[in-house]
Amino acid sequence: MAKFFKGLAASGGWACFDEFNRIDAEVLSVIAQQILCIQNAIKEKRTHFEFEGTELPIIWTCNCFITMNPGYAGRAELPDNLKALFRTVAMMVPDYAMIAEIKLYSYGYEDSRSLAQKIVTTYKLCSEQLSSQKHYDYGMRAVFAVLVQAGRSILMLQSVNDVNLAKFLDFDVPLYNGITRDLFPGVELPKPDYSMMVNKLTENLDVTYCQAHPYFIDKIIQFYECHLVRHSVMLVGMPFSGKTTALNTLQKSLSDLAQLQSRKAAKHPAEARLNPKSIPARDLYGCFEEVSREWVDGIVAVLFREFARNQTEERKWLVFDGPVDAVWIENMNTVMDENKKLCLNSGEIIAMSANMRTIIEPMDVEVASPATISRNGMVFFEPHLMGYQHLIAKTLKGGLPQEMDETERAAVTGMIEFLVPPLVSYVSRQCKTVSPAQEQNLVQSFLLLLTTKLQSGYKDPNMNREAADPKALVAMVDCYAIWCAIWGIGAACETGSRPMFGQFLRKLLTGQDGRDGLDRLIAELIDTLGRLRDLDGDGYISVEDMCAVNEKTASLHSEHFTQKNANAIRLQPNLPDRGSVFDYVVDLKVPGAAVFCDTRLCSALWTTIQAGSGTHGKSATLAFRGCPIQRNDELSLRELRELFAVRRLSHV
């Protein structure tokens, strides 16, 4: 800020600092002293004055103005010594209809006044009749987005739909359609021909074993239309809603369509993806070194400059995949609004190129300010409209072992249809889970466990398929499916809900809940007392008995000895083998639980992170692979995260 004030004083110019109250309160006090120094020099009619240790000429016409949105997230209260230096001017809400009318007249519309009234009335009725959502915006920027898109009268309604329809929730769409029918009576919109794009989207989804769900295809097309109008777009939705898949599929489809039109290989749209919440703010945008005071570029600055300098016609998408908060998103305001410029603290301003887009993939926008929401086009994904059948279809199509014959594949399909719907419904409605679990999360956990178990089982070198009884193979598939249902779906339940889940599962398998039971060779494996089948003996063994055996046989002199309690015994067969293709995390608050990480990233650092019985999510003890040194001290979760970061960077 001192550099700005020096330039203003020496040149006599004016400057307007937008959203001034986003500066930290400590810095605002320093700025107040700098402004006071300039104002005192003007009052004393001086031609030169000392500012921050520098003798400067001053021209009395210099001045500065500030704008601010009080009460927004990420804003600070102005200190009193700064308030005293400025005269307050309160702004009123502008006349949207008059602004829209003038804008439409400049586009050559004849009936601009009535069309402007219809646009404003549409937004007014939407704000009154539709549900209240954080990502809904009916302000001046929304009106301007419609005006920019509109070309002639018949396209006015199409423009309103393109800008707004993608962000509405499912139950708000009929209300919105009723509003537009009343305001635009008799207007029939021509349906755009997206047949070629739909075909390419379907082909690319099939390649990745994904399902071309009609709702999902519509959302991809809405995103495509939105990114043509807005240079900054938010894809909002819970996990498993398909945000990243939609983005990747559209990228590939646009490349394929460009290749068909040009008859030559088209470049894939350039994409840079990062999680802004995992990067400190100083490393995200850049900062001055504390000692040398030299400017060091951040990740966003480097990527943004690289895309801006690339003047090719290929699309360039900067993707922020992570939560939105007022700490990092507000620094992107000048990028997301009509300025299209990234302003760095170093004073550098980087302008977006014509083919650049910023795309944000948050789960929600609960903590985003209205200023941020109004600057972005919104596409809202609702996972419940897609269900979880596409996950099952993808697994059955490309996730099962190739060694399985049609009978065994039919057995897997039958077990999934038999177990998944009732168990997922029961857990979602009757059980209390450790953390909020969507139906898609439960099904995906079950499917990952099942495919991993089947892959390892069918690739077992001791397995002789030719000599094996076909019924025994089907029974093995059934056992795997039941075991994976317990640990993939039931494991999400809290301790108090697990007995309820166990009773429901037994009733389901034996047909006591009114459904047809499972009439196969696994009936003997179902124990009504909740015990485990003793594969080395003839009967069953309880978890408590296994703990007692463990205490007797454990060597107290072993450096790597960890006493197993009941939870550890239950978890032991559920742990992924080395080289597993999925990550597995267990709640640290459960005594005897463990946290397991992707072996592709940290197999050389450790194999197991075992939580002590009294950690309660605060610390954990590391067991290193091949390290004879026993770790008696405990690492905090912050240190644990730093170790992960070091290991992850070493693999980049």
CB 329 within 8 A of CB 358: no
Domain boundary among 385, 400, 429: 385
Domain boundary among 344, 367, 385: 385
Residues 213, 232 within the same domain: yes
Beta bridge partners of 17: 66
**Residue 628 scores a pLDDT above 50:** no
Read off the pLDDT of each residue in 172-188 and give the average, rounded to a whole number: 78
Q: Which residue has the higher pLDDT, 221 or 644?
A: 221
Show contacts of 605-612: CB within 8 Å, 24+ apart.
605/643, 605/647, 607/578, 609/640, 610/562
**Residue 230 scores a pLDDT above 60:** yes
The secondary structure of the chain in percent helix, strand, coil, rounded to multiples of 5, reads 50, 10, 40
User: Strand 594-595 relative to strand 608-610: parallel, antiparallel, unpaired?
Assistant: antiparallel
**DSSP characters for 233-276?**
EEEEE-TTS-HHHHHHHHHHHHHHHHHHHHTSPPPPPEEEEE-G
Residue holding tokens 């006090």?
29
Residue 235 placed within a domain? yes
Angle at 102 between CA 99 and CA 106, to 5 degrees: 135
Residues 460, 591 within the same domain: no
Residue 557 placed within a domain? no
Q: For residue 623, what are the CA distances in angstroms to 68, 184, 620, 631?
A: 53, 68, 10, 7
Residue holding tokens 């008059």?
98
Neighbour count for residue 225 (Cβ, 10 Å): 21
Residues 217, 340 within the same domain: yes
Q: Which residue has the higher pLDDT, 365 or 610?
A: 365
CB 165 within 8 A of CB 174: no
Token readout for 384 is 């419940």
Q: Residue 232 is inside which H or E element, if any?
A: strand 232-237
CA-wise closest residue to 407 among 451, 466, 450, 470: 470
CB 391 within 8 A of CB 96: no
Read off the pLDDT of each residue in 110-137 and give the average, rounded to a whole number: 79
Residue 566 placed within a domain? no
pLDDT of res. 617: 33
Dihedral of CA atoms 225, 228, 231, 234 in degrees, nearest 10, equals 10
pLDDT digits (tens, 9 = 90+) for 517-549: 555 444 455 554 445 444 444 554 454 454 454
State how many domains the chain has: 5
CATH, residue 46: 3.40.50.300
Q: Which residue has the higher pLDDT, 55 or 22?
A: 55
pTM of the predicted model over 0.85? no
Rounded CA separation 451/444 (Å): 10
Which residues have CB under 8 Å from 70's CB, separation 6+? 21
Q: For residue 641, what are the CA distances in angstroms to 497, 560, 610?
A: 31, 23, 15
Residues 421, 484 within the same domain: yes
Q: How confident is the model at residue 221 (pLDDT cuts 50, 70, 90)?
A: very high
Residue 89 placed within a domain? no
467 in helix, strand or coil?
coil
Residues 289, 158 within the same domain: no
pLDDT of res. 597: 32
Residue holding tokens 């040194």?
629
Residues 42, 78 within the same domain: yes
Rounded CA separation 383/235 (Å): 13
Q: What is the C-alpha radius of gyration for the chain, rounded to an integer number of angstroms? A: 31
pLDDT digits (tens, 9 = 90+) for 316-326: 999 999 888 87
Residues 48, 123 within the same domain: no
Residues 208, 334 within the same domain: yes
CB 19 within 8 A of CB 330: yes
Among the ranges given (27-36, 94-103, 585-594), the one the predictor scored with the smallest mean pLDDT: 585-594
pLDDT of res. 620: 34
Residues 323, 402 within the same domain: no
CATH, residue 393: 1.10.472.130
Read off the pLDDT of each residue in 162-188 and give the average, rounded to a whole number: 79
* Domain coverage including residue 405: 389-526
Residue 50 placed within a domain? yes
Residue 88 placed within a domain? no
Residues 399, 374 within the same domain: no
Rounded CA separation 372/333 (Å): 7
**Residue 600 scores a pLDDT above 90:** no
**Residue 481 scores a pLDDT above 60:** yes
Residues 377, 348 within the same domain: yes
Domain boundary among 385, 414, 444: 385
Read off the pLDDT of each residue in 207-217 and give the average, rounded to a whole number: 86
Tell me the one-letter amino acid at 428. S
What are the backbone angles phi and psi of residue 497, rounded to the nearest 5°? -90, -10
